[in-house]
Amino acid sequence: MALADAGLRVTVLEASRALGGRARSWVDQTTGDTVDIGPHLVHSEYRNFPAFLERLGTRGSLVWQPVNLITIATQPPVRLRHWPLPAPLSLLPDFLRAPGLRAKDMLLNTKATLKAMAFGEEDVAELDRLSGTEFLRGCGVSEPMIDWFWRLASMAVMNVPLERCSAAALMRVHSTLIGHRRLHFGFPAVGLSDLYVQQSVRAIEGVGGRVLLDAPVRATRHGKTQEVTLEDGSRLQARYCVLALPPQELHALQPALADTAAFKPSAYISTYLWFDRRITDERFWARLCAPGRLNTDFYDLANIRPGWSDRPSIIACNLIFSQRVTGLSDEEVLAATLREIAEFAPAATRAKLRHARVHRIPMAIACPHPGTEQRRPAARTAHPGVFLAGDWTATRLPSSMESAVRSGFLAAEEVLALEGRPRQVALEPRPADGISGLVRRAVQWRRRRS
C-alpha cells in the first residue's frame, strides 16, 4: 500500500484464498459473527499500525481503554492504571496492592527497571545472550516478582516462557511499557480483516496494481530483473521483489536470504465461547502464569464491540506457546478454559454455553529465543532489488501487527530509495517521558561523550 501511495504499480501474490495472513478474520458459520484467528490488542505507543489504519480510514474502528491498563485475575483482582506520577512510577501504587508482593519485591526490581529505562539498541548484543530469567536473577529481582509480573509479561507480550525469552527482546519491550505514563491498550471493534483487507486492495488496484489470490510462488530468480514462478508455471517479472513471508516459508523459497533456522514458531490455541448471558463487565483481563494454567489473556467481545453491547458475553482467549501442552483435545481445551473463565467470572458457572470454537494456530509468531534478536534480517538483502518484510524481521519491535506494518513500511523505504525518491514511511517510537525519559537522555549523552 505504501508503494501504491508513491505511485508504483504493485502485484501482490497471496498463496491462500484469503488475505490477511495470521491477522485475519472470517464469519463463524453457526453464529454469523465475524471472529479473528485469535484476539488482538492495540498499543497506544505503537505508531505504525494506527497510522496504517488512518490512511485506510478505519482508525475509528479501534476501541481504546484509556483508564484501566489491565486487570490481573488474582484474588482480589488487581486493576493496573496510571496514577498522576511520572513514568515509570505511575503504575507503582497498584503494584503495591498486589497480593503476594511486598515493598521489598518492588525495591529488588529497581536494577532491572533502571536497565530498561537505559536500554538502547547498542545493548542488544550483550543481552541477547541471556534468557529473561538469567538476566532478572542477575539483577537481583525476587522470585515473587519474577513469578507475579515477569512471567506474565514474557508470555503475554513476547509469546514465550520467560526461560526461553531473549533478555534483549524483553528489555526492549519493557523500556517502552514503562516509558510512557499514558500508555494504554485498545481493541478492534470489528473483525481484523474488516480493518484493512478490502481497503488495501482498493488502494493498490486504484493505481493500476493487482492483488492475486490462490497464487503460491514456486521459485524466484534474482538479477537485474526479479522473476517469480507460480505453482501453475506462469512467470512474472518486476524491478523489485519483496518477500513478506514467515521464516519457514522463506527458507523453503530462498534459504540463503536469512538465518531462518534460528526462528522457531510459537503456537497458539485461541478459544471462542458464546454464553447465554453476560458474565462480566470487563473488556480484558489476564491470568498470572503458573503450572497447570492454560490461557493467558481473555476478552469479552460483547464489552468491546459497540454493535454487540446488548448481547450475552462472547469470550475470546489465548493459550500462548501451546507446544507446552501437547496432546490436549479440543474438548479438553474447552473444559479447562471454562474453568479458568469461571475463576475470574463466577457467573460463568450459572451460564449456558451456546457455542464454542477452538482455533489452533501452528505459527502465531516467531519465538524471540536468546540469540534471535541479532539474527533478525534487515529489509534489504544481499540481492539488489530483493527485500524482506514480516513481523519477525529487524523492526526493533516484538512480533505483532505493529511490527508487521513497520516491516512493510521499511521495505517500501528501501524500494523508494533505489527509485531515487527517498522518503520516510515507517514511524519511529515516541521518546520516553518522565523519569524514564530523563534516564534515557542521560545515558545517550554519556555514550555520545564516550
In degrees rounded to 5, what are phi and psi of residue 114? -65, -40
Q: What is the pLDDT of residue 450?
A: 80
Classify residue 228: in a domain, yes or no: no
Domain match, 343 and 437 both: no
pLDDT tens sequence across 35-67? 999 999 999 999 999 999 999 999 999 999 988
pLDDT tens sequence across 174-183? 999 899 988 9
Angle between the N-to-C axes of helices 434-449 and 110-118, in degrees from 0 to 180, rounded to the nearest 10: 60
Which residue segment(s) compose the domain that 151 sits in? Answer: 67-183+431-449
Q: What is the pLDDT of residue 293?
A: 94
Domain match, 273 and 167 both: no
Domain match, 177 and 88 both: yes
Residue 20 CA to residue 13 CA, distance in Å, equals 12
Spans of the chain below 50 pLDDT: none
Last residue of a domain, one of 344, 366, 388: 366
Last residue of a domain, one of 366, 399, 418: 366
- pTM greater than 0.85 (yes/no): yes
Q: What is the pLDDT of residue 322?
A: 96
Classify residue 148: in a domain, yes or no: yes
**Tally of domains within the chain:** 2
Residue 438 cell numbers, joined: 530523563
Q: What is the pLDDT of residue 299?
A: 98
Cβ atoms of residues 314 and 274 within 8 Å: yes
- 410-435 b/e with 16+ CB inside 10 Å = b? bbbbbbbeeeeeeeebbbebeebbbb
User: How many Cα atoms sit within 13 Å of 249 on the Cβ side?
Assistant: 16
